[in-house]
Amino acid sequence: MKPTIYLMLLFVAFSCINNSSRKNSVFIDVSKDVLTPRNYIIAKAEKPLNIDGLADETAWDGAEFSQAFIDIEGDKTPTYETRMKMLWDDDFLYVFANMEEPHVWGNLRQRDTIIFYNNDFEVFIDPDGSTYAYGEIEINVLNTVWDLLLDKPYRVGGIPVFHWNLDELKSAIHIDGTLNNPNDIDEGWSIEIAIPMKALVELKGQRSSLPEDGEQWKMGFSRVNWQFDVKNGRYDRKKVEGKYLPEYNWVWSPQLVINMHEPEKWGIVQFTSKNSSEGVKLINDDDLLIKQTAYALFRHARFGSLKNLAENKAGFEQSIEAKYSENETPIAANYFKTNLGFEIKLKSSKTGVVYIINEQGILRKE
């Protein structure tokens, strides 16, 4: 065969393979699964705060209140308003939240019981933003604490560590009204928490040091609120046909689903050494939406519309066209079946960085 003819045939074969690859690409719209998390600049307190359930110290003047909480799925307006704000110092991360509530009630008093069976306030903290090794704190109006550690999200087999007790944690409740009294209407309640910084920085692994100026953590905040009945003067969760009605979940940053344990969706908290957040700018992540797209593809490949790809043998590849924004060209991704699960690779058009996410939801740079 002449070299010229051989090269022509080779070119045609390559073109066919390339065209076939394009034709066989799977298109998926993940634009409704991708979000821009809310953000918060956390200022540094000059001296330790007195934890009394109120934000009446001068230091709190340097902390801005967050936006009002929204429904966890993002499509309903909460019945009652919730706002939080934060400060930090070398010893503690401080959280204050104010919650409107016409009936302030609670009955769980044992530490590390399942606090969200009462109305409660919840804090989720992932210092290194990996979605692995994160803390959760839930507190009700009786100041009963449930603190636990998740080695990884429940979706990939995470096991809660109940004996992760924050012994140095401080918390206090202030009630604007009366507790467990169904005969009047209350204004609400507030909570002030001091979370030991030492326990939090340990979750960063090798980088177990106090936050640097500009350092960003992933944090989530949730408020659980139940419909109730009053029987014999006592409050309890409302039942219909013998079953408790589902709770309301109101959050700072949207989750889009009723699940706080998708840490990639939590808000972005940026530390500053200044005593006020005023004038401090957020450090933007140019690849934020690409990372969110990677997690969305992981969820679809592990649990959703792309789950059937896992039925193929190791070595199988599938090209994917992912629409992640109404205003952006769909991004090309590649699914590769491994012996243990899968890897999805995608490249940022803005920074050129290649990201890989696997079946465990672990995201890394190539």
pTM, 2 dp: 0.91
CATH value at residue 192: 2.60.40.1190
Instruction: For residue 38, tell me if it sits in a domain.
Output: no
Residues 6+ positions from 226 with CB-CB distance below 8 Å: 118, 119, 237, 238, 244, 245, 247, 248
Instruction: For residue 295, tell me if it sits in a domain.
Output: yes
Section 100-104 average pLDDT: 98
- How many C-alpha atoms does 223 have within 13 Å on its Cβ side? 25
Looking at the structure, do residues 235 and 347 belong to the same domain, yes or no?
no
Looking at the structure, do residues 82 and 193 belong to the same domain, yes or no?
yes
Instruction: For residue 61, tell me if it sits in a domain.
Output: yes
Domains in the chain, number: 2
Q: Read off the pLDDT band of 21 (50, 70, 90).
A: very low
Is the pLDDT score of 29 beyond 80? yes
Among 224, 246, 271, which residue terminates a domain? Answer: 271
Section 89-115 average pLDDT: 97
Q: Read off the pLDDT band of 5 (50, 70, 90).
A: very low
Looking at the structure, do residues 214 and 351 belong to the same domain, yes or no?
no
Looking at the structure, do residues 358 and 221 belong to the same domain, yes or no?
no
Nearest to 43 by CA among 71, 66, 63: 63
Section 254-278 average pLDDT: 97
Looking at the structure, do residues 199 and 327 belong to the same domain, yes or no?
no
Residues 6+ positions from 248 with CB-CB distance below 8 Å: 71, 78, 79, 224, 225, 226
State the pLDDT at residue 240. Answer: 96
Looking at the structure, do residues 295 and 262 belong to the same domain, yes or no?
no
Looking at the structure, do residues 191 and 329 belong to the same domain, yes or no?
no
Looking at the structure, do residues 258 and 318 belong to the same domain, yes or no?
no
Section 238-266 average pLDDT: 97
State the pLDDT at residue 22. Answer: 41
Instruction: For residue 111, tell me if it sits in a domain.
Output: yes
Instruction: For residue 264, tell me if it sits in a domain.
Output: yes
Radius of gyration of the chain (CA): 24
Looking at the structure, do residues 167 and 296 belong to the same domain, yes or no?
no
Looking at the structure, do residues 119 and 91 belong to the same domain, yes or no?
yes
Q: pLDDT tens, 177-226? A: 999 999 999 999 999 999 999 999 999 977 779 999 999 999 999 999 99
Give the domain range for residue 328: 17-33+287-365
Looking at the structure, do residues 316 and 263 belong to the same domain, yes or no?
no
Looking at the structure, do residues 201 and 303 belong to the same domain, yes or no?
no
Q: Read off the pLDDT band of 10 (50, 70, 90).
A: very low
Instruction: For residue 276, tell me if it sits in a domain.
Output: no
Among 206, 237, 271, which residue terminates a domain? Answer: 271
Instruction: For residue 208, tell me if it sits in a domain.
Output: yes
Among 246, 271, 296, which residue terminates a domain? Answer: 271
Instruction: For residue 39, tell me if it sits in a domain.
Output: no
**Alpha carbons 139 and 129: distance in angstroms, whole number:** 23
Q: pLDDT tens, 295-342? A: 999 999 999 999 999 999 999 999 999 999 888 899 999 999 999 999
